[in-house]
Structure 1
Amino acid sequence: MNYLIVKLADYVKRNLGYYLILSFILVAGVIAGSVSAKLLSDPQRQDLLNYIELFFSNVQNIDINSSSVFYISVLNNLKTALVICLAGLLVISFPIILIVIFFRGYILGFTVGFLVVEYGIKGSVFALLSILPQNIIIIPAIISLGVTGIHFAVTVIKNRRRMYYDGYFSMLLSYTLSCLFFCFFLIIAGLIEGYISPLFIKLITPYI
């Protein structure tokens, strides 16, 4: 376990610049999403409120299928991971990674921003208990996948003239294993979203 932590810390240190860039892009997405939540037209705002109120009023009577939530969560997160990994693998399409990270931040910012704007402290508590737990793992994993993809693409571009088959294959294998490693955390996040977050949701909704 200590070995794994040391390796992860070393990986982050060696790619700190990429981590800072992608973190900045994520934060920019969160800010843009939260601002968008405040700029909704009255009809759009009311439609969202009606949907949320309907969910809140029925959540206690709904038998949440945790395995289905887990499956959907993992599927959606792995789709995002696949886009990032392929964008890095195809090299010239690695800017797509920046777009995916920004969009992920935008969704998070919009969701949390809308809840906070409309429900105040109660919305903040709901977001904290229902959205934050899985995203504590999802966000670092997605950013790490993005860093891995950009690092791979940039390395290939820099060494394209002296890249030999064996060297490329070794780097490709390392890239694939790194992607699979970070995808493992997305599965853990899916477990949290499927089996833990619903408990928090049912716990807090009666007070909203």
Structure 2
Amino acid sequence: MMRNRTLEQYIKEHLSFYLFVGVVFVTGVVFGAVMVNALSLEQKQELSRYLGSFFASVHQGGLEGDVTGSFKDSFSMHIKWFLIIWVLGLSVIGLPLILILDFLKGVLVGFTVGYLVGTLSWKGLLFALVSVVPPNLVVIPLLLVCSVTAMAFTIHLVKNRFISRKGALYEPFMRFSGVILASGALLLGVAVFEAYVSPVMMKWVTPMLVTMSGS
């Protein structure tokens, strides 16, 4: 019963934050997808050449060689994003920057999926489903949770240090830091997936993509 009340209270206090952050992220996704149409012919040709060489590398098992390096790169990329949110959450001016990060993450996802689908049609969608979508099913919810937690801590910091000038910060700080640490543990799993499983899944679908890019 107590746990249900706590969850209900949490949702009541943070629902508006989640809606706002969600809208910012989705706006970024839409903006990223629209950016694909703004690419010049030269930029599209350059990206097509890069994709062609990437598909050929995947098809030849190029991503299966340095698994340890892939794991480190993946984890480093994700954890830096979350550590930046943690640092921004500790500062009063960090709140708008957190929203900018969420928007940029949406832009990256929207542009990547939009370009693959726009260029390769259903084959691009298939490749996105085995490469972009699986890790982001974990990373994006974690990003939203950490962003909302950071925003809540920043607002708590402002209220208790610059308005009422009272109230303990230790418990909110530990809760905020705990969310970041728990996210880091889950990001380890994401990095393992991207290093060991994603290359295999991508290798399943790249034969048709290599054929298409070479035609």
TM-score, length-normalised on structure 1?
Answer: 0.90
| Correspondence for 2:22 | 23
Taking structure 1 as reference, are residues 152 and 135 closer, same or farther at Cα in structure 2, changes over 3 Å only? same
Taking structure 1 as reference, are residues 201 and 11 closer, same or farther at Cα in structure 2, changes over 3 Å only? farther
Structure-1 separation of matches of 2:196 and 2:165: 46
| Correspondence for 1:36 | 35
Structure-1 separation of matches of 2:144 and 2:8: 15
Structure 1 residue 128 corresponds to structure 2 residue 109: no
Give the C-alpha shift of residue 54 in structure 1.
1.1
**Count, aligned residues:** 205
Matches within 5 A, 1:3-152: 11-12=10-11, 14-61=13-60, 62=62, 64=64, 65-152=66-153
Structure 1 residue 178 corresponds to structure 2 residue 179: yes
Paired residue secondary structure (1:91): coil
Taking structure 1 as reference, are residues 193 and 140 closer, same or farther at Cα in structure 2, changes over 3 Å only? same
Paired residue secondary structure (1:94): helix
| Runs of 4+ with deviation above 3 angstroms | 4-14, 161-165
Taking structure 1 as reference, are residues 136 and 12 closer, same or farther at Cα in structure 2, changes over 3 Å only? farther
Structure-2 separation of matches of 1:118 and 1:12: 40
Taking structure 1 as reference, are residues 6 and 140 closer, same or farther at Cα in structure 2, changes over 3 Å only? farther
Q: Structure 2 regions of 5+ residues with no counterpart? A: 210-215
Structure-1 separation of matches of 2:78 and 2:4: 23
CA contact (8 A) 2:142 2:183 kept: yes
Structure-2 separation of matches of 1:66 and 1:12: 40
Q: Which moved more, 1:54-63 or 1:190-199?
A: 54-63
Structure-2 separation of matches of 1:126 and 1:42: 23
TM-score, length-normalised on structure 2?
Answer: 0.87
Percent identical pairs in the alignment equals 33
Give the C-alpha shift of residue 9 in structure 1.
7.9
CA contact (8 A) 1:12 1:19 kept: no
Amino acid at match of 1:194: A
Give the C-alpha shift of residue 91 in structure 1.
2.1
Q: Structure 1 regions of 5+ residues with no counterpart? A: none
Taking structure 1 as reference, are residues 10 and 76 closer, same or farther at Cα in structure 2, changes over 3 Å only? farther
CA contact (8 A) 2:160 2:166 kept: no
CA contact (8 A) 1:131 1:197 kept: no
Give the C-alpha shift of residue 56 in structure 1.
1.2
Structure-2 separation of matches of 1:179 and 1:30: 24
| Correspondence for 1:188 | 189
